[in-house]
Amino acid sequence: MGIKLTLTVNGASITREVDPQTLLVDFIREHLRLTGTHVGCDTSQCGACTVHLNGRAVKSCNMLAVQAAGMELTTIEGLAAADGTLHPMQAAFRACHGLQCGFCTPGMVMSAVDLAKNHKCGSEQQIREGLDGNLCRCTGYQNIVKAVAQGAAAMK
């Protein structure tokens, strides 16, 4: 038996019926077909599934969809402007080549936006500590750190 779930997703109010055991990441990918949010580990270790709930970064593989009822959910698809203009953090990742294969990039960008908005990220150490829990298996993180610093500066 499904539960009626209503929330705001990338600025639009949506209502769907979901199984009470549906993870938020599965709801995003399978019910809403927003596949920019990735499933990397299913244990909240890698950060590939990071989204924003009410403006804060959360790992969507670590919570049930019904726990997001009534909240505002932003996925990587909702970060850019409606006209396609990249968010400053997305633009910084592009400019600094803060990616290689791109699998971790959506979660990394979502975490970086939260870091820039809600935490201290003035130094390389603060950025590295703030991104702890977001794993990239391709890069040495140097360009990611540079991108976060540039994106955070552009967001001010």
pLDDT digits (tens, 9 = 90+) for 50-95: 999 999 999 999 999 999 999 999 999 999 999 999 999 999 999 9
Whether 92 maps to a domain, the answer reads yes
**Separation CA 94–CA 68 (nearest Å):** 30
The phi, psi pair for 23, rounded to 5°, reads -70, 150
CB-neighbour burial class of residue 134 (10 A; exposed 0-12, middle 13-18, buried 19+): buried
Structure tokens given for 135: 């794993």
The answer to whether residue 119 sits within a structural domain is: yes
Q: How far apart are CA 137 and CA 141, in angstroms?
A: 9
Residues 70, 92, single domain; the answer is no
Q: What is the reported pLDDT for 1? A: 74
Total number of domains constituting the chain: 2
Choosing from 77, 103, 121, the residue where a domain stops is 77
Nearest C-alpha neighbor of 40 from the set 66, 16, 62, 14: 62
Q: Flag whether 82 is in a domain.
A: no
Residue 83 lies in a domain: no
In the prediction, which pLDDT does 121 show? Answer: 86
Are residues 13 and 71 both part of a single domain? yes
pLDDT < 70: residue spans in the chain: none
Full residue range of the structural domain in which residue 96 is found: 88-155
CATH code of the domain covering residue 142: 1.10.150.120
